[in-house]
Amino acid sequence: MKGRVLVVDDDIALAEMLGIVLRGEGFEPSFVYDGDKAMEVFREFRPDLVLLDLMLPGMDGIDVCRQIRAESGVPIVMLTAKSDTVDVVLGLESGADDYIVKPFQSKVLIARVRARLRRTDDPAPETLTIGDVTIDVAGHSVHRAGEPLNLTPLEFDLLVALARKPRQVFTREVLLEQVWGYRHAADTRLVNVHVQRLRAKIERDPERPEIVVTVRGVGYKAGPG
């Protein structure tokens, strides 16, 4: 099982504690304490998942997040001490897949990490189509009118979840459970932000979406009408 986790956090005690827990769960952690060195270690270590503190000395966590996202679709889970909307949304918009607000329980951390790594199980060959977007589930690729689209694993999961049941309306809570693996109601901003990111990639006009459509007051669905 892939289990290389890069912990980017300036707090040495916390990093060490996270290391203990991750090792206990069979992951292989590596640590960076400085934002400036994060990319270097990231390229070297090639982690399967990044735990990223938002407040870092040197380069800001947000910038680290953007740089990682520019190079790779690897799952990023933010660790943040701020639960304010602005900070969370900024983190999510810069490319993080999920976030955990400090202080958190170790089992929550492990659950999130596992949820983000889970989708590596090999799916059966399957092809889905919404509008002019074609999804090869097994091949993990998405095309629009023959053009390949570059989606992160999370965006891909989100799109697949919606596309498997076209025209069915998914509430944000259901999506949180199916895509993010949350059992209980959690922050629906995760869904909002990632739907926006997904639309920016797959829609012809993200202002007037045709593939992932908002159902006011309820949630989202795939396909028009």
Partner 1 sequence: MREAASVRASPRGRLARLRAAAFPAIAFRSGAARGPADSPPSSGAPESSAGSQPGSGRPGSPPDRPRPGSWWRIASRWHLALPRLPRLLPLRRGWRRRLRLLSDRWSRSLQLRVVTATLVLSAVVVSVLGYVLMQHLVTELYDVKVQSSVNIADAGLASASGIAAFNEERNSSTRQAMHDLAKQLASTGVTPYALEVTLPAADQGPPVYSAGWAVGFYRSPPALPQALVRKLLTESAAHRSPWQVWTSMAVASGPTPVPGLLIGASFGYDDLYQLYYFFPLAAEQHSIASMQRTLLLVGVAVVFLLVAIVWLVTRWVVIPVRLAAQGARRLSTGQLNERMEVRGTDELAALATSFNEMAASLQEKLQELEDLSQVQRQFVSDVSHELRTPLTTIRIASDVLFAARQEMDAAAGRSAELMQSQLERFESLLTDLLEISRYDANAATLDAEAVDVCAIVRQSADVAQQLAERRGTKIEFRLPAEPCIAEVDRRRVERILRNLLLNAVEHGENRDTVVTAAMDSAAVAVSVRDFGVGLAPGEEQLVFDRFWRADPARARTSGGTGLGLSIALEDARLHGGWLEAWGEPGRGSVFRLTLPRTAHGELPGSPLPLNPYAAGLDTAELPGLADLTLTAAADDTSRSGAHPHAVARGDDAGGPVEPATSAGPGGPRAADGAAADAAGSEVAARG
In the complex with partner 1, which residue's Cβ is closer, 121 or 183?
Answer: 183
Interatomic CA distance for residues 220 and 48, integer angstroms: 29
From the list 4, 14, 45, 93, which residue makes contact with partner 1 (rule: CB under 8 A)?
Answer: 14
Residue type, 68: I
From the list 98, 155, 177, 187, which residue makes contact with partner 1 (rule: CB under 8 A)?
Answer: 187
Tokens at 17, concatenated: 């504690």
Residue 84 CB coordination number (10 Å)? 9
Tokens at 173, concatenated: 């809570």
> 54, 29 in Cβ contact below 8 A?
no
User: Applying CB under 8 A, does 147 fall inside the site for partner 1?
Assistant: no
Taking only Cα atoms into account, the Rg of the chain, rounded to an integer number of angstroms, comes to: 17
Closest separation between CB of residue 133 and partner 1, Å? 26
From the list 66, 69, 119, 189, which residue makes contact with partner 1 (rule: CB under 8 A)?
Answer: 189
User: Applying CB under 8 A, does 18 fall inside the site for partner 1?
Assistant: yes
DSSP state of 7: E
Closest separation between CB of residue 132 and partner 1, Å? 29
What's the sign of the alpha-carbon dihedral 183, 76, 117, 9? Answer: negative
User: Applying CB under 8 A, does 13 fall inside the site for partner 1?
Assistant: yes
Site string for partner 1, 48-87 (x = CB under 8 A): -------x-----------------------x-xx-xxx-
Instruction: From 81, 53, 99, 54, select the one nearest 194 (Cα to Cα).
Output: 99
Give the residues lining the site for partner 1 (CB under 8 A). Answer: 11, 13-14, 17-18, 20-21, 24, 55, 79, 81-82, 84-86, 101-107, 109, 171, 173, 184-185, 187-189, 192, 216-218
